[in-house]
Amino acid sequence: MGEQIKIFDTTLRDGEQSPGCSMNLQEKIQMAKQLELLKVDVIEAGFAIASQGDFISVKEIAKNVKNCTVASLARALPKDIDCAWEAVKYAEKPRIHTFIATSDIHMKYKLKMRPEEVLENAINMVKYAKKYCEDIEFSAEDATRSNPEFLARIFEKVIEAGATVINIPDTVGYTTPDEFYSLIKTIKEKVSNIHKAEISVHCHNDLGMAVANTIAAAKAGATQLECTINGIGERAGNAALEEIVMALNTRRDFFDLDCNIDTTQIMRSSKLLSTITGIHVQPNKAIVGANAFAHESGIHQHGVLNERSTYEIMTPESIGLSNNTMVLGKHSGRHAFEERLKMLGYTLSKEELDVAFKEFKDLADKKKVIYNRDIEAIITKDSTKIPKVYKLKRFIINSGNSITATASVMLKYNDVEIEDVSTGDGPVDAAFKAIEKIVDMELILEDYYLHSVTEGKDAQGEAIVKIRKDKRIYTGRGISTDVIEASIKAYVNAVNKMLYEIYSQEKEKNVS
């Protein structure tokens, strides 16, 4: 057994800050529970003071997650730390993660503080946080562009003040693996009490080296690695959890480092995040991309058929994929369907199974072969259980290249059926405008994406819609073998999420 490394997942905080990656409360809780199944050591649930919604989500995750440390980010300010504690105090293992910038450029232009003021503030705020809980993480923002001597000094002082973890972030993705390795070694040598705290690193991917920098830091002695599922995060993203973990796992002979991650949950975690955010993984993405275990070259195919290790350095099964070739179709029974769900890693209640099996049978009447991705699409499409304020009843489209597209859409609102008609630049645009009329709201279509769930001309189409209302973006998802229907369902799903959030906020105001 090699040295144990902790995995700190910040998908729900740094990852969610990515444009278009916002999640509602139910989605955050669902993602947190999946991270718990993945066995990450720490979940950074959010930035509690950022908004009332962030505070509530951190608090609810703290209440729901039992097997991971739950952290909230906080600036080195008393009000931030107070708010963070109010949110994470319900956790079995709470952590306050406070930070302040330490680079000359940040101190001068952003903080407008002298180094001595930054040092004093860091010490005082770690002491302030320590009165709430034992586990305190301190981050030196923009550490890789900071003076190493100043870094060593501030780390030594915050450890004296009670910090249990010191974080060395490459905030703007500026460093290189060799430089970062040397910086970690320098900190270990110059901070006399470093043995009293864990060394953590948090790397961004602006130059495409986040994973390489993170692993270099681990080789140098960092014992906590901060990362996100699919590498989502600010700008070019963060170090990707799946790449770090599988690098350590596959090259254990070289790194001699271990972590607690259940790698068979990697693929499911990646797909869940893509489903929630509507941000799809590029096909050639390492580990979780659609092509990661695909072989088209005849030479490669021949090699893999003879011996998989010729062109596969890890197995698909190790990340939760399966090579099962059992075909499901309209003649398949409930038992076969249940077995496939178990194989894919899903555990459903009887009620959920009843609904899913009915949808499977309905789909099987439209398609000859049901693929695993079809089943996953059925299971995950309504997984966050947002109340369906509006439901699609029917739609009629009149479209062609020589006429103006017209859409008639009927939605069910409670027990009332409401129908409206609109024209547009094509059938999808016309349908969306008809829905806007029905809900009587002016909405901005921020993004629209349509792709095939599986191969074949009878494949289901998955539509992702992002709508904007009052600076907030809501993501909707719909699937159907009819791409127009999938698009309409996605738009209605986004509207329902928006209405649910508005209702929840009003309810929270009334309660408080």
Lowest pLDDT segment from 8-12, 132-136, 206-210, 380-384:
380-384
Give the pLDDT band of residue 296 (cuts 50, 70, 90). Answer: very low
Between 506 and 437, the more confident residue is 437
Mean pLDDT calculated for residue range 76-85: 98
Higher pLDDT, 400 or 509: 400
Q: How many CA atoms lie within 13 A of 362 on its CB side?
A: 11
Tens digits of residue pLDDT in 457-479? 778 888 999 999 887 888 888 98
Query: Which domains are seen in the chain, by residue range?
Result: 3-277 (3.20.20.70), 293-321 (no CATH), 324-380 (no CATH), 390-511 (3.30.160.270)
How high is the pLDDT of residue 373?
Answer: 74
Banded pLDDT at 365 (limits 50, 70, 90): confident
The better pLDDT of the pair 297, 467 is held by 467
Specify the amino acid at residue 132.
Y
Do the beta carbons of residue 218 and residue 185 sit within 8 Å?
no
Which pLDDT score, from 0 to 100, does residue 382 have?
60
Average pLDDT, the chain: 90
Question: pLDDT (tens digit, 9 = 90+) per residue, 215-235?
Answer: 999 999 999 999 999 999 999
Calpha distance 183→189 (Å, rounded): 10
pTM recorded for the entire structure: 0.78
Confidence of residue 362 (pLDDT cuts 50, 70, 90): confident
Whole-number Å distance between alpha carbons of 103 and 115: 9
Query: Is residue 324 pLDDT above 50, yes or no?
Result: no
| Backbone angles phi and psi of 458, in degrees to 5 | -100, 15
pLDDT tens, position by position, 179-202: 999 999 999 999 999 999 999 999
Between CA 342 and CA 329 the distance in angstroms is 17
Q: Is the pLDDT of residue 449 over 60?
A: yes
Higher pLDDT, 461 or 79: 79
What would the pLDDT profile of 90-103 be if each residue is shown by its tens digit? 999 999 999 999 99
H or E segment at 300?
helix 298-306
pLDDT tens for 27-52 read 999 999 999 999 999 999 999 999 99
Check pLDDT > 60 for residue 294: yes
pLDDT (0 to 100) of residue 144: 98
Asked if the model's pLDDT at residue 307 lies above 80, the reply is no
Q: Check: CB of residue 249 under 8 Å from CB of residue 2.
A: no
3-state SS, residue 219: helix
pLDDT in the model for residue 512:
59
User: Which strands sit side by side in the sheet containing 416-424, from one edge to the other?
Assistant: 390-400, 403-413, 416-424
Residue 455 has pLDDT above 80, yes or no: no
Q: How many degrees, rounded to 5, is the angle at CA 415 between CA 412 and CA 418?
A: 40
Do 154 and 140 contact (CB within 8 A), yes or no? yes
Query: Could you count the other beta carbons within 10 Å of the beta carbon of residue 190?
Result: 15
**pLDDT at position 383 over 70:** no
Give the whole-angstrom CA distance, residue 85 versus residue 98: 11
In DSSP terms, which residues pair with 466 in a beta bridge? Answer: 447, 475
pLDDT in the model for residue 325: 42
